[in-house]
Amino acid sequence: MMDKVRLVIIGVGNIGTLHLENVLSGKLSGVELVGLCDTNPEKLTRVKEKLTDSCKYYSTDEEVFMDEEVDAVIIATPHYAHPVLAIEALKAGKHVLVEKPAGVYTKKVREMIEVGNQNPQLTLSLMYNQRMNPMYQKARELVQNGEIGELRRTNWIITNWYRSQSYYNSGGWRATWKGEGGGVLLNQDPHQLDLWQWIAGMPSRIFSFAYYGKRRDVEVETEVTAYVEYENGATGLFVTTTTETPGTNRFEIVGSKGKIVIEEEQLKFWQTRVDEAEWNETYSGGFGEPEVWEIKIPVQFDGDSGHLKITQNFINNILFDEELVSPASDGILGLSISNAIHLSSWTDNWVSLPIDEDLFLSELNKRIAASNEKDTEERVLDTKNTY
């Protein structure tokens, strides 16, 4: 039985460096860093001083997958490569932890999931680290246990993603259809889109307004407003941008007998003593509404330790068969919402879920064909407090 997972990190840019620091911190158990892989030798040179002489350096992912002394990989490359490399790694017998997003389009992610299902002995997990935040876990528990009654409305305003032009200029692949495949939805919002459906469920259809290159010299979306409807008639709104400061992060979930608001790292919960549907049916007094209680929920916000916890969960699943908090099969859900928002804005029409994957890919390929990779020197930025 394996007692330690021999790990390689593929991609040593912004997020790959964070993974490296997490492994070197000593806060993870049951794992040994055996190597790093990047096609840019300068990135490997930059981190060598942090590592022991026994660490291996790979210039191609093929070298990693051929190495029998590697048990698992973390994929921290640009987005298009996520499912492609995951599929190659699984076929080579490696366990895989994929950074967000799961991919750029659901058709490829679905292929990755199918290959994972064909290799049940291997672990395939996603870095949806905010699922480890106790506040979002509690919100999900309240919704799923019926504490807010029937879902009526969800609103998420998430605009505290401020990114300057210098950020977009830090890599030639950034904010291009060819290199990144999307903007704020695909880079900054995957965690929120995942949490939105994880807590409140998947919408049935979406109509969106997305603005491409607004206030930034980029190809992709920098501002989005999306309206969604759920199967039961509930509605939702998702508002996001990278150009607003000061930004807002406010998530509201309203049901027939309660409301949850998460804002400024606090969860507030109100519950009516009588479900609104019952009150409406039985109350005869004209003006009036059910008595409402504000209930204090004993939960703390923790948005910082999720990376470590998801990585440990991935390791523990390999070693001890611990249940995955963020299995790869979930990655297609939030990405479906992202793809649907793009497709709605491109076609100026409603998009039903599950989406028409071939239509989405056809529309995406049109934009890839017209995309231009920027001629800019790639920089590794300080990512503290951005994940």
Residue 32 sits at the vertex; the CA angle it makes with 63 and 309, to the nearest 5 degrees, is 110
Give yes or no for a contact between 72 and 19, defined as CB atoms under 8 angstroms apart. Answer: no
Q: Mean pLDDT over all residues of the chain?
A: 95
- Scanning the chain, the segments in alpha helix (DSSP H) are 14-24, 41-47, 61-66, 81-91, 106-118, 134-144, 165-168, 184-187, 190-200, 276-282, 306-320, 331-347, 357-369
Q: Which two tokens stand for residue 52?
A: 């022991």
Q: Beta partners for 359?
A: none
Give yes or no for a contact between 174 and 255, defined as CB atoms under 8 angstroms apart. Answer: no
Three-state DSSP class for residue 248: coil
Give the side-chain half-sphere CA count within 13 A for 298.
Answer: 0
> How far is CA 255 from its chain centroid?
25
Residue with tokens 């992060």: 249
Three-state DSSP class for residue 73: strand
Q: Which domains does the chain have, with CATH numbers?
A: 5-130+305-333 (3.40.50.720), 131-302+336-369 (3.30.360.10)
**Letter string b/e over residues 18-28, b meaning 16 or more CB atoms within 10 A of that residue's CB:** bbbebbeeeeb
Burial of 183 (0-12, 13-18, 19+ CB in 10 A): buried
pLDDT at 2: 86
Report phi then psi at 211, rounded to 5: -120, 120
Q: What is the DSSP letter of 36?
A: E
Amino acid letter for position 320: F
Per-residue pLDDT of 341-371, as tens digits, reads 999 999 999 999 999 999 999 999 999 999 9
Look at 50-54, 223-227, 264-268, 270-274 and tell me which has the smallest mean pLDDT: 50-54
Length of the chain: 387
Is 377's pLDDT higher than 70?
no
pLDDT at 372: 87
pTM of the model: 0.94
Write out the DSSP string of 203-223. Answer: -SEEEEEEEETTTSS-SSEEE
Per-residue pLDDT of 64-105, as tens digits, reads 999 999 999 999 999 999 999 999 999 999 999 999 999 999
Task: Extract long-range pairs of 32-35: CB within 8 Å, 24+ residues apart.
Answer: 32/4, 32/5, 32/6, 32/7, 33/7, 33/8, 33/9, 34/6, 34/7, 34/8, 34/69, 34/70, 35/8, 35/9, 35/64, 35/67, 35/70
Comparing 277 with 376, the larger pLDDT belongs to 277
Question: Rounded to an integer, what distance in angstroms lies between the CA atom of residue 83 and that of residue 112?
Answer: 6
Give yes or no for a contact between 55 and 35, defined as CB atoms under 8 angstroms apart. Answer: yes
Per-residue pLDDT of 252-272, as tens digits, reads 999 999 999 999 999 999 999
Question: Rounded to an integer, what distance in angstroms lies between the CA atom of residue 94 and that of residue 105?
Answer: 23
